[in-house]
Amino acid sequence: MGCGSAVDRTLEQTVEQTYPLGPTADIRIGNRDGSIRIYGAPVAEMKLKATKKAYTAARLNGIAINVTAQPNSVSIETKFPPKRVAGFSDRSGTVDYVLVVPQTAQVSRLELENGEVLVEGMRGANVKARLGSGRLFAHNSFGNLDLAVTTGNVALVYEWWEPAKFSVKANIADGNGFAFIPSDASFHLVAETPNGKIDNDFTEKEQRSGEQPTKIDILVGDGSEAGIEIRATDGNIKIAEANP
């Protein structure tokens, strides 16, 4: 009876490459639709896995992944076929990236228009990530993170805490911010949402009132040099305390 399975079957094509990369190399990556996942590790190379998906062979072959790699820098650009006028019938495809890179490398540009971003295990260097629509996760990253989402959510998750000097700045235009932080952490916390509310587990019980604030600026723990800023224009912010 058909059921449309032949029409809607997704075609896939995967590319895997390894490039030598120095510990302080600069990484730049751009994508339109799909995902970008970057994992920091104690390695001296970059392992790249890119999976292209589309509904037709022509569209799949029309997606180009251009990599320019040198020992101190890597640039990855994704080229898609032009979108059709009718948005509903456009099937120009997606690309899912998985990168394993030196944990002290710098990510000076990570841009994704639609989809999901993950930054995990980065330390020391700067990471600048921009997402148009979707979800952005930062997991156990003790580096300087500059994160921005136009429409969607940001989640900062730390399963343990490392005393170090680093900063995390997350800006959300339309969406919610969430942070999951161990109870023994020490950091400077700034959170602000003019059109939402903030729920903060690190506020002392005697300081809590029935009304949830729209802005907080506090020191948690012994006031170490780590800093976390979460700002949402339209949305809520939740700071959750978790036992290590």
DSSP string, 173-237: EES-EEEEEETT--EEEEEE-TTS-EEETTS-GGG--SSPPSEEEEEETT--S-EEEEEEEES-E
Contact at 8 Å (CB) between 153 and 144?
Answer: no
What's the mean pLDDT in 177-195?
Answer: 95
Contact at 8 Å (CB) between 239 and 177?
Answer: no
Give the residues across from 68 on adjacent strands.
Answer: 75
Please tell me the chain's helix, strand, coil percentages from 3-state DSSP, rounded to the nearest 5: 5, 60, 30
- State yes or no: pLDDT of 204 exceeds 90: no
Kindly report the number of other CB atoms within 10 A of residue 28's CB atom.
Answer: 17
Q: Report residue 225's pLDDT band, with 50, 70 and 90 as the boundaries.
A: confident
Query: In whole angstroms, what is the distance from residue 214 CA to residue 183 CA?
Result: 22
Q: Report residue 164's pLDDT band, with 50, 70 and 90 as the boundaries.
A: confident
Most distant CA pair in the chain, distance: 67
- State yes or no: pLDDT of 156 exceeds 80: yes
Residue with tokens 């993170």: 145
- State yes or no: pLDDT of 89 exceeds 80: no
Q: What is the pLDDT of residue 222?
A: 81
- State yes or no: pLDDT of 54 exceeds 90: yes
DSSP state of 56: S
